[in-house]
Each structure stands twice: as C-alpha cells, then as structure tokens.
Amino acid sequence: MADEKTTQSSNAPANTPNTIEALYLEDRRFAPPTEFRKNAVLSDEDIYARAARDPEAFWAEQAEKVHWFKKWDKVREWNAPWVKWFLGGKTNVAYNCLDRHLSTDRRNKAALIWEGEPGDERVLTYNDLHREVSKFSNVLKGLGVRKGDRVAIYMPMIPELAIAMLACTRIGAPHTIVFGGFSPESLRDRINDAQANVVITSDGGWRRGAILPLKKNVDEAIAECPSIKACVVVERIGAAANITMHEGRDHWWHELMKGISQVCPAEEMDSEDPLYILYTSGTTAKPKGILHTTGGYLVGVTSTFQWVFDYRDNDVYFCTADIGWVTGHSYIVYGPLSNGATSLMYEGSPDWPDKDRFWAIVEKYRVNILYTAPTAIRSFMGWGLEYPRKHDLTSLRLIGSVGEPINPEAWMWYHEHIGGGRCPVVDTWWQTETGSILISPLPGITTTKPGSATRPLPGIEADIFDENGNSVPLGGGGYLVLKAPWPSIARTIYGDADRYAKTYFSRYSPDVYFTGDGAKRDKDGYYWLMGRVDDVMNVSGHRISTTEVESALVNHPSVAEAAVVGKAHSIKGQAVVAFVTLKSDGANMAPAEKIAELKKHVANKIGALARPEEIYLTAELPKTRSGKIMRRLLRDIAEGRAMGDTTTLADPGVVARLRDKYEAAEQ
C-alpha cells in the first residue's frame, strides 16, 4: 500500500486530512537503546537548551574543534539576508580533512575505502590521501589554476574524484561538481555559469557493466565552453572507452602526476572565501549555483557528522550517495574526513551484479554506520528479504536516511531488517543550500517516531509558518522556515545575489529563510516533512524542476506547449509526468513513437534522471483566464484524485476531456 506521506504531491497543501490522521495514528516510539546511549558522543539533552540560550557561543564552541591558521575575530555578522561566520578566521578545509590527522594515530588509518564496480577495491590511508591530494594540487597549479579560479569536475565515483575535490580545496580553487548522469548540455551550462577554467573527468565510468561516456560528454560540452583551458582525464576504462585526446587541451591524470612534487602547503583561506559551487534545481529552468564558503561550512559538516552519526574512531562509515550531490560533498568527503573517519565510497548500483550488493559491502568491510535514501529502501523492500538475509549485517550500529520523506513502513522495514531492531535510525532533513543536516534525531538522546525527522539540531532555530508568517501551533502544518542563520548556510547563488535574496528570503522577511518544504509539527513538537511546496519535484531523492523539464520539451521542434508535474510513485517518491500539446505539423508519427522520442529528448537535454515516466499528448491544457497552466489540476488527474477548484479555468471542459483521455491511457 502506498503510504500517506509519499502520496503527497509536491504542491499539495502541507496538511491534508489524510496526513493528519496518519500522524496521530503513529504511536510507535523508539528510545535510544541503553547501551547506545551510554557510549554515545552526545547523550545529554541539555545541549539543546545550551545552544538556544546563546547560539553564537554555541557555534564558537563547535568552531574551536577544527583547525584554524588564525582564529576568528568575530563569530557572526548578520545583515539579513546576508551573513558571515567566523570573520577574520583563516583555515583550509583540506588541511582539516588531511594534514590535521597526520600528527595523530590516524596517520595510517583508512581514510577512504573504495569499492569499485565490478569488485575493484582500493584503500587510501590519511597519509596516502594527503600525498595524492598534494600532488594533484601541484598538477592544478601547473595548469595555471590559482586561488579563486573555478574547476569543474565530472567524474564517476572513483578515488580520484575525492582527490580532485580536496586538491581544489587545498589551493583555494572552488570546485563545481556535476553529477555524471547529467547530459553534455547540462554540463556545458554549469561550466559556463561558473566560468570554470579546467575540467576534470575520466575516460568513462562503469554502470551495471556498461560504460558511461563521460569524456565524450565533456568533449561535446566544452566545444561551447570558451573559459575551459584544460581537461584532465583519469583512465578508468582503458581502450574500450574509445576516446579522443585533444592535443594541447587534454591531459592524462597519470601522466601529469608522474614525478610531480608531493609538497604543497594548504592555502590559508579566509573563513568567508568560496569553497565550492553546486548546482541545484529551482523553480525556473536555470539551475542555481549554490555557493558555500569555507569556515562556516567546515564547522557545520564537522559537528553534524559527529553528532548525528555518533562517529567514533574505529567505525567504518558508508554513505551510498553520489559525490555529485550535496550529500556526497558533506557526508562522504568533508564531514567524515574532517573527523578523521573511514569513509567508504562505492562506484556502482545497489543491484549490480545482484540485488544484495550493499549488504555484501556491509559484510565485507564490517560497516558500522550506513546512510542511504528512502527510494533505495523502498526498492530493497520490493526486492525481498532474501537479499539482506544472505549477509551478516551485525556490524551495523546506526542507520540513516536522507533525500525525501521516509514513509513509516519503509522506516520500520529499515529498522527491523537492516538495523536488526537494535540500530537507531536517523532521518536527516537538509538541503543543498543548508550545507549540513538541520533536522535529525541525536541517536543517543532522541526518541524516534517512524516517519519523523524529529527535532531541529542544537543551534538551529526552525519554525512552521502559515501563509501570513505566523508560527503555527503544535499539531498544525505549514511552511518550514529557519529563523536564524547557521554556519553552513549557502552565502549566495553564484553570480545572482538577487535571486538568492528573492528565492530564500522574500517570502516572509529578509531574516527568515524559506525552505520550500511543507511540514507539520505534532503535539510533541516533532517535525514531519511533507515534500516541496514549489515547482520542484523530488525523484529518487533528486531535485528536478518542473520548469526545466518543460523547457526541454518545448525545445523539441514538434512541441507547442508542455506542463510537467510530479506524480506519487511507490519507489521513486515522485515520477515525472508530462502533458504535451503538439504543433499542428508535430503529429508526424504514431503517438507511441512520438512519446518515446520526447522522453529520449528530455534525457538528452537534461540527463536520464529527468526522463518523464509518462507523457500524455493532448489537444489542450487547463489554463486560467490569464493563461497560466493549472498544474494543480494536472496533478489531481495524474494521481487520480477528486478535482480541486476549477472555477478559475478559462474552459472548464478541458479537464474533463483530459481526465477521460488520461484514464483511457492508464487502462
């Protein structure tokens, strides 16, 4: 049965009757196990009150735990919506992730454990990683990269990806990582927006035994990227990748690394110097370049990694995300490494060569902490218990979830069948823009409820507002907001400060951050996230803008108009559904062929992740009298719901005709 929370559509009002009922029916509680609590990094509830009494002092105390070349003069400067943290402080994130550990017992500890597809493996100790990063830092300098220059990275999940990003960070060159599933056009647009000088890629990547043509995509992209001066290529595939190296522009990673100096001191960065740019979908077709800076981000990811995952020195930690997303940035690389953790990175898919791959990895490396996504958990549920049961999962002591609301059934399954009933489950809410986890249980303190991300972390001032900016009392729902800045908040949208202010700080007032998420708080003050309230879909934990997909569709020569909505999907959370009207000369082939062509077109334009699950060709779209497409009605149709208010429609007959057509197609 589909659960109430996953059937929430992206623009649904935050508290529809069925969800309220579900929440009040949810009476299962899971207190931290006594043993866990006894040994936990945090076990004293008082931390919340302490942080609330004096947030600046609290964050300064956290900042003391990382290394500074020079300590800050001032903790925070807040001219809403603009904020700076640890002003005057000098630090380097890569120094904190590497050098800092070399003078400790961690020197020869595994920093990265890499499990490649199909079964390749490599372990890099902190000492190894420091050496490789220092060498590649010198490579980048040799290619002319200077502090402040942007470097694009388009790579599979291989150790060189982590090495490349840490090298950028070491020399103060902000990286912009583009997920390997994005199309050449998406890559081109991001490189051009960031004005990157260098791009780092590989000859290809392995995905379910097939080759991802990364270098070929780069060639296509940078043909239209005048800022790119050099391209560095890691050899992952070999001859089978069949790539062309362009003389003077393209360089093999291994050749550049040959004989280069291992010495490259970390650049002393200002606390507010840019650290990286990461593009994310918003409500318009153009992705936003979310800019994170140095000191605050470091403090945010370092502290939350330790608190939420209860990281202790001998733990093996496995986050299944791709580093191309923020989860990988913060919780595969920066947060874990700055804590001196052993972070496992896996190149492939959960179902390759078989559906037990994650569990085989857990058993092989005796993983203690696992961090994955609800969409994966729902797939595992569908595949059946035989796969986890094939493996010894008793090394696990804590399991986490991120990316979208986790429905209580999936939470329970995860708790019982992966966590063996003994592991606390941390459902962590955050965003690319927040940089680090903001709402989550503290596993040694918080009693969890399946489906709730529980409470804002210490130092985080969240609230739920109604349309008018009034705080909604416990038991009610509305919009999730943050009423004070935290250290790892994004500082701007690269090159578009106005859009930053407008997107996040104009809904209520310049000192209130609007998350774009609907949420509800129960009588105990626990938060229940309800999904996006804007035109952003969440497909398998990935943010995709409806407008972006619509633009891709109307870019096709036969399409006149397109409207895209997210439809509840039992595995993906949401699936992309498009309603398309064709130009009069567009119906030049059978509808089924046309639909296949349009799906392929979207995948080519944006990337496979945006490929519509369903496309409906229709003669008309429901519009208001002022000509706005009423997506809400399309969602009602796609999700088979009773039709909402149709009084503002220019032609009320349109929806009835559309619904008949949709239902006929669904048969």
| Number of shown-chain residues binding ligand 7RM (CB under 6 A) | 24
User: How does strand 110-115 pair with strand 269-270?
Assistant: unpaired
Q: Distance between CA 359 and CA 350 in Å, rounded?
A: 9
* Tokens representing residue 169 in the block: 């960070």
Sign of the alpha-carbon torsion through 173, 179, 185, 186: negative
Q: Distance between CA 99 and CA 166 in Å, rounded?
A: 12
Burial degree of 477 (CB within 10 A; 0-12, 13-18, 19+): buried
Q: Which of 428, 446, 488, 551 binds ligand 7RM (CB under 6 A)?
A: 428
Q: Which of 129, 529, 578, 595 binds ligand 7RM (CB under 6 A)?
A: 529
| Complex with ligand 7RM: residue 86 or 429, whichever CB lies closer | 429
Q: Does 326 bind ligand 7RM (CB under 6 A)?
A: yes
| Complex with ligand 7RM: residue 387 or 429, whichever CB lies closer | 429
Q: Which residue has the tokens 């502090």?
A: 147
Judged by CB under 6 A, the stretch of 471-479, 512-520, 560-568, 634-642 that binds ligand 7RM is: 512-520
CB-based contacts of 6, cutoff 8 Å, min separation 6: 405, 407, 568, 569, 570, 573
Q: Distance between CA 643 and CA 667 in Å, rounded?
A: 20
Q: How far is the CB of 528 from ligand 7RM (least distance, A)?
A: 9
CB-based contacts of 20, cutoff 8 Å, min separation 6: 477, 520
Q: Distance between CA 2 and CA 13 in Å, rounded?
A: 19
One-letter amino acid at 4 equals: E
* Tokens representing residue 379 in the block: 């797939």
| Complex with ligand 7RM: residue 116 or 456, whichever CB lies closer | 456
Pick from 218, 435, 432, 402: which is nearest to 325 by CA? 432
Judged by CB under 6 A, the stretch of 24-32, 231-239, 319-327, 502-510 that binds ligand 7RM is: 319-327
Q: Does 453 bind ligand 7RM (CB under 6 A)?
A: yes
Q: Distance between CA 518 and CA 12 in Å, rounded?
A: 9
Helix (H) or strand (E) holding 549: helix 546-554
Q: Does 455 bind ligand 7RM (CB under 6 A)?
A: no
Q: Which of 134, 201, 343, 432 binds ligand 7RM (CB under 6 A)?
A: 432
| Complex with ligand 7RM: residue 101 or 543, whichever CB lies closer | 543
| Complex with ligand 7RM: residue 201 or 452, whichever CB lies closer | 452
| Complex with ligand 7RM: residue 280 or 343, whichever CB lies closer | 280
Pick from 310, 18, 321: which is nearest to 180 by CA? 321
Q: Distance between CA 135 and CA 163 in Å, rounded?
A: 9
Q: Are 233 and 245 contacting, i.e. CB atoms less than 8 angstroms apart?
A: yes
Q: Which of 55, 159, 205, 405 binds ligand 7RM (CB under 6 A)?
A: 405
Q: Are 176 and 289 contacting, i.e. CB atoms less than 8 angstroms apart?
A: yes
Q: Distance between CA 229 and CA 199 in Å, rounded?
A: 8
- CA dihedral of 563, 578, 636, 639, whole degrees rounded to 10: -160
Q: Does 402 bind ligand 7RM (CB under 6 A)?
A: yes
Q: How far is the CB of 402 from ligand 7RM (least distance, A)?
A: 5
Judged by CB under 6 A, the stretch of 58-66, 468-476, 535-543, 613-621 that binds ligand 7RM is: 535-543
Q: How far is the CB of 22 from ligand 7RM (least distance, A)?
A: 15
Q: Which of 202, 368, 431, 492 binds ligand 7RM (CB under 6 A)?
A: 431
Q: How far is the CB of 374 from ligand 7RM (least distance, A)?
A: 8
| Complex with ligand 7RM: residue 443 or 531, whichever CB lies closer | 531
| Complex with ligand 7RM: residue 89 or 456, whichever CB lies closer | 456
* Tokens representing residue 93 in the block: 């994130």
Q: Does 460 bind ligand 7RM (CB under 6 A)?
A: no
Q: Which residue has the tokens 């599933």?
A: 181
Identify residues 252-311 at the interface with ligand 7RM (CB under 6 A): 280
Q: How far is the CB of 494 from ligand 7RM (least distance, A)?
A: 16
The 10 Å Cβ neighbour count of residue 28 is 13
Q: Which of 89, 336, 403, 424 binds ligand 7RM (CB under 6 A)?
A: 403
Angle between helices 55-63 and 46-53 (to 10 degrees): 110
| Complex with ligand 7RM: residue 139 or 426, whichever CB lies closer | 426
One-letter amino acid at 563 equals: A
Q: Does 490 bind ligand 7RM (CB under 6 A)?
A: no
Pick from 36, 40, 58, 60: which is nearest to 49 by CA? 58
Q: Does 427 bind ligand 7RM (CB under 6 A)?
A: yes
Q: Are 427 and 479 contacting, i.e. CB atoms less than 8 angstroms apart?
A: no
Q: Does 407 bind ligand 7RM (CB under 6 A)?
A: no
Q: How far is the CB of 490 from ligand 7RM (least distance, A)?
A: 10
Q: How far is the CB of 287 from ligand 7RM (least distance, A)?
A: 11
Q: Do you know the residue count of the chain?
A: 667
Does residue 608 sit in helix, strand or coil? helix
Judged by CB under 6 A, the stretch of 18-26, 161-169, 236-244, 396-404 that binds ligand 7RM is: 396-404
| Complex with ligand 7RM: residue 565 or 617, whichever CB lies closer | 565
Q: Which of 521, 532, 605, 631 binds ligand 7RM (CB under 6 A)?
A: 532
Q: Which of 205, 516, 573, 607 binds ligand 7RM (CB under 6 A)?
A: 516
Pick from 59, 96, 436: which is nearest to 266 by CA? 96
Cis check: omega of the bond before 350, within 30 degrees of 0: no
Q: How far is the CB of 439 from ligand 7RM (least distance, A)?
A: 7
Q: Does 522 bind ligand 7RM (CB under 6 A)?
A: no
Angle between helices 631-638 and 653-666 (to 10 degrees): 30
Judged by CB under 6 A, the stretch of 52-60, 320-328, 598-606, 639-647 that binds ligand 7RM is: 320-328
Q: Distance between CA 225 and CA 631 in Å, rounded?
A: 35
| Complex with ligand 7RM: residue 30 or 86, whichever CB lies closer | 30
Specify which residues 411 forms β-bridges with.
Answer: none
Q: Does 488 bind ligand 7RM (CB under 6 A)?
A: no
**Residue 13: phi, psi to the nearest 5?**
-60, 150
Q: Does 543 bind ligand 7RM (CB under 6 A)?
A: yes
Q: Does 517 bind ligand 7RM (CB under 6 A)?
A: yes
| Complex with ligand 7RM: residue 206 or 528, whichever CB lies closer | 528
Specify which residues 277 forms β-bridges with.
Answer: 176, 291
Q: Which of 85, 86, 114, 429 binds ligand 7RM (CB under 6 A)?
A: 429
Q: Which of 36, 430, 500, 526 binds ligand 7RM (CB under 6 A)?
A: 430
Does residue 556 sit in helix, strand or coil? coil
Q: How far is the CB of 185 from ligand 7RM (least distance, A)?
A: 20
Judged by CB under 6 A, the stretch of 199-207, 243-251, 363-371, 397-405 that binds ligand 7RM is: 397-405
Give the Å distances, CA to CA, from 94 to 338, 382, 513.
8, 40, 29
Q: How far is the CB of 247 from ligand 7RM (least distance, A)?
A: 39
Q: Which residues are near ligand 7RM by CB under 6 A?
A: 280, 325-327, 402-405, 427-432, 453, 515-517, 529, 531-532, 538, 541, 543
